[in-house]
Amino acid sequence: MKKITQSILFVSLMMSLVFSLGFSSVSADPKYDYLITISTEFGDMKLILFDDTPIHKANFLKLVQEGKYNGTIFHRIIRNFMVQGGEIKFNNDSLTFIQKSLPSEIRPNRLHLQGALAAARPENPEKRSDLSQFYIVQNQSGTPFLNGNYTVFGQMLVGFNVLEKIVNQELNGSTPVKEIKMNISAEQVKRADIIKFYGDVYAQFDFK
């Protein structure tokens, strides 16, 4: 499998990225999907990733498979808003911003609901996403003012109590006083089993 720095060089080409990441079979079998587990000292959060954001899905799965997120932290918390984490240090300072970011995959049907998984990004006119950082919406009413501005590429299914515990940790501004570390894993499971245990999330979250 290619190194992460190699795959970054093709990030601006959608199909090249998906195949170079080694996840060309992400949606090849419609009977299966990936169940994401974000593990913390407070418990686990389970999520699914959307098929209509294939670049973000493939990139996230690759980073998870390589263990890049393990030991990273939730470094930014804003109560009644979101938690942000997943910052990874990539050892190639010569890469341009385009090579260190993902093209926007903003979809009108992908809303900032509670539990939405979205890509963080710096200000840029193309709304390109950070290569690794993500945030999870904590506000029970969602954050609709972010719709159309950031790529939402997944949705939490369970673990909202864990999210609340993370949000309620002691903060210094928006920075947790104590590091909140995470490990992330991805398990390929039957979609029928996901529906069995978590409800018909594919209908609920408008999978096409």
The confidence score (pLDDT) of residue 206 equals: 82
pLDDT of 104 higher than 90: yes
pLDDT of 72 higher than 50: yes
Supply 197's token pair.
Answer: 């245990």
**First-to-final CA distance of the chain:** 29
Residues spanned by the domain of 90: 4-204
Q: Which residues of 115-131 are buried (b: 16+ CB within 10 A; e: fewer)?
A: bbbbbbbeeeeebbbbb
Q: What is the pLDDT of residues 151-195, one digit of tens each?
A: 999 999 999 999 999 999 999 999 999 999 999 999 999 999 999
pLDDT of 196 higher than 60: yes
Q: What CATH number corresponds to the domain at position 127?
A: 2.40.100.10
Rounded CA-CA distance 129/116 in Å is: 15
pLDDT of 87 higher than 90: yes
Measured in degrees and rounded to the nearest 5, phi and psi for residue 121 equal -165, 155
pLDDT of 129 higher than 80: yes
pLDDT of 105 higher than 50: yes
Measured from the Cβ of residue 52, the count of other Cβ atoms closer than 10 Å reads: 15
Kind plus residue range of the DSSP H or E element containing 72: strand 72-78
Rounded CA-CA distance 43/12 in Å is: 36
Supply 119's token pair.
Answer: 């890509």
Residue 144: strand, helix, or coil? helix
pLDDT of 96 higher than 90: no
Identify the bridge partners of residue 46 per DSSP, sorted by sequence position: 37, 158
Percentage of the chain beyond pLDDT 90 is: 78
pLDDT of 111 higher than 80: yes
Q: What is the pLDDT of residues 4-21, one digit of tens each?
A: 334 444 443 443 444 444
Number of domains in the chain: 1
Rounded CA-CA distance 145/158 in Å is: 24
